[in-house]
């Protein structure tokens, strides 16, 4: 099965994170936001601004090494949110893929509300709110992982593969 790529620009990420904030404003107020590093940091900043939330905690879970999946490790827990199992807290990440990271976060903060900008089918059941669903075989290229360059038309790459 061929891997598909979905490129997200800075403008699109901002619009999608703001759309997520629109969905979350009615579910608050929030004690704070737990940003999942690294991918959740920028969406968390946008959402924090839109929800006027000043308390931002971070949780660092290492799962990926480039495109290789490994065993998740919590390298920095979200101390402030742990006190009441995340009750009243909003967890934000850029993407839920297989749900591996989400399950670790859910175990740490079972009462928190989990929101992601993008969701894949395998991980979707782990989140409470998301904006855009993409297929499981799609690799999302976030703006912090890419730079503008020429890409051949789809028809040329399709003809070469066929």
With vertex at residue 19, the alpha carbon angle to CA 13 and CA 21, rounded to the nearest 5 degrees, is 105
Beta bridge mates, 73: 62
- pLDDT for residue 1: 60
- pLDDT for residue 41: 96
Total number of domains in the chain:
1
In a domain, 159, yes or no: no
Q: Give yes or no for residue 67 having a pLDDT over 70.
A: no
In a domain, 139, yes or no: no
Average pLDDT, the chain: 91
In a domain, 27, yes or no: yes
Instruction: Please state the pTM of the whole predicted model.
Output: 0.85
Active site residues: 93-94, 97
In a domain, 150, yes or no: no
State the Cα–Cα distance between residues 118 and 130, nearest whole angstrom. Answer: 6
In a domain, 122, yes or no: yes
Q: What residues make up the domain containing 18?
A: 8-134
Q: Give yes or no for residue 66 having a pLDDT over 60.
A: no
Q: What is the CATH number of the domain that holds 39?
A: 3.40.50.2020
More confident residue, 1 or 146: 146
Share of the chain above pLDDT 70, in %: 93
């Amino acid at each position: 099965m061929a891997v598909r790529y979905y490129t997200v620009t800075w403008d699109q990420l901002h619009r999608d994170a703001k759309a997520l904030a629109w969905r979350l404003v009615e579910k608050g107020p929030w004690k704070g936001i737990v940003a999942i590093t690294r991918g959740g940091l920028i969406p968390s900043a946008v959402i924090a601004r839109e929800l006027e939330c000043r308390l931002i905690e971070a949780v660092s879970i290492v799962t990926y090494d480039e495109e290789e999946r490994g065993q998740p490790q919590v390298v920095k827990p979200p101390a402030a949110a742990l006190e009441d199992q995340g009750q009243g807290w909003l967890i934000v990440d850029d993407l839920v893929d297989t749900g591996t990271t989400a399950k670790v976060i859910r175990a740490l903060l079972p009462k928190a509300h989990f929101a992601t900008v993008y969701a894949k089918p395998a991980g979707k059941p782990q989140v409470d709110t998301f904006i855009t669903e993409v297929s499981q075989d799609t690799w999302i290229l976030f703006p912090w992982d890419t730079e503008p360059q020429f890409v051949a038309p789809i028809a040329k790459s399709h003809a070469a593969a066929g």
